[in-house]
């Protein structure tokens, strides 16, 4: 029995390697929340909830989660609105 070999593929038939498109890193809701908190004026729970599509209790829970992860979040009153910021 003789072993038959498969003919080599023609390289001319194959297109040149195409560079894969650069995919930007995924932006998570936590990243978006941190961006809102890093603004100089901070953000209220209402602003954060609207921007993220969350209910207010979910937003407050996320703030608690960030605090537990070590982020220093301050809370200030601006008029009658409570504003949260990342402490600098």
Domains in the chain with CATH codes: 29-86 (1.10.10.10)
Mean pLDDT taken over the chain: 87
Counting residues of the chain whose pLDDT is more than 70, the rounded percentage is 77
pLDDT, position 2: 67
Total residue count of the chain as it appears in this document: 88
pLDDT, position 10: 60
Provide the CA 42 distance to its chain's centre, in angstroms.
18
**H-assigned helices in 1-88:** 29-38, 45-52, 56-68
pLDDT (tens digit, 9 = 90+) per residue, 16-42? 567 777 777 888 999 999 999 999 999
């Amino acid at each position: 029995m003789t072993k038959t070999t498969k003919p080599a593929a023609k390289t001319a038939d194959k297109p040149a390697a195409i560079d894969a498109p650069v995919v930007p890193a995924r932006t998570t809701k936590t990243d978006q929340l941190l961006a809102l908190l890093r603004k100089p004026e901070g953000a209220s729970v209402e602003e954060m909830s609207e921007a993220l599509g969350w209910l207010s209790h979910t937003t407050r829970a996320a703030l608690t989660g960030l605090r537990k992860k070590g982020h220093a979040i301050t809370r200030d009153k601006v008029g009658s609105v409570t504003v949260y910021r990342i402490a600098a």
